[in-house]
Structure 1
């Protein structure tokens, strides 16, 4: 797999603006709502693959100390230029190699797990940072969501290739990074194998494929609140999880 680090280095200076794009802002906000509802009332949170600290700032605003794990030098430079705030600790390194104590009330991997060499191993590693009762939340690009989107625009051969290989590629800023395309069954099995319980999956932006990119962008521009209200209800149906543009999976370490 082509590593994601060069791409994220290139994106780092304008990464905040990257999430001003309507569909990214929408699934980011939907993911935040669901994750925030699962956070413990207090205690530390680990943001694995924290980027420039977008989620860290939200977590700090809620009063959580945050440890951000990041390996891309460009992202690290932005974090040092504009720190998320008091209570933030940066750990430079790969989320699959860094060692942290099992004290976190929550561990979040928002858009980072899919770039790891072995997602199952990475889930087990991240789960090891949780204290008893702590929650792990992972957000990834959805395999089925991408396949449906490609079929909708007539890119049938690419859709079938992605379905067969379970791999995708993100091209931006003159770079390309390979990623795993994951589905609900694989991620839920990884969570269970890591000893997590209460595992749930939610599809975010289930309407992306039927509306198409232009239709989705138009609805978000003209009637965002109504569309997100529908998306919240769709996200409550686990059977629709794989149809989302993004897939959010959560689970807890059993209490002792």
Structure 2
């Protein structure tokens, strides 16, 4: 039972079942030749030798010669943490590369090959997922309409409020500019003051209540009500997104810049 749990934990680091078995055998045996390790791990000698070579390449096992015989020894289990960190870095590099080509992939996709897709989200986790989705398209402009007092619900949920501000920081670090049409309010004033660090430009719409937020990005339109109902939806459809984006740009040109 313990061995099964250990193998599962090792598998979570990216090791195969054979690699996990060989590493556990080496931890218990100490420095040994491949033949002894193979017997302990219950694997064929040739396969065990290949696995040991792979583990050595990953920096998890060390090898040395003694009396013309090659020995292997397991490195400290702490190196597995480093292995996970390396995998994390590699995934981030791959993710960055994919995001860079995402606009090209979207451009070559036939816009009539799929029907408009609408997804409904509920609760705090649902609201968070909508915001996270705005960071995944690769689009560097996020067009928005809404009152900051409504979608920064400090009184109702300070945890969500703090999370949204953190999201704004992450959005800015990704180079995504928030182009927002908003009401004059205390929270909007605060958002305006952070406009440089959070890559935000605002224009002011007066005399109209904006109880929900609308975000337009890529081929998607997100409608979010986070202050009361904690509900939102994402419409994934290029014509719909283009229409909302063009309306936003038309209204934008008629509005004054936001001022404190």
> What TM-score bracket applies, with the shorter chain setting the length?
under 0.3
Calculate the TM-score normalised by the size of structure 1: 0.24
Calculate the TM-score normalised by the size of structure 2: 0.24
Higher Cα Rg: structure 1 or 2? 2
Greater RCO (CA < 8 Å, at least 6 residues apart): 1
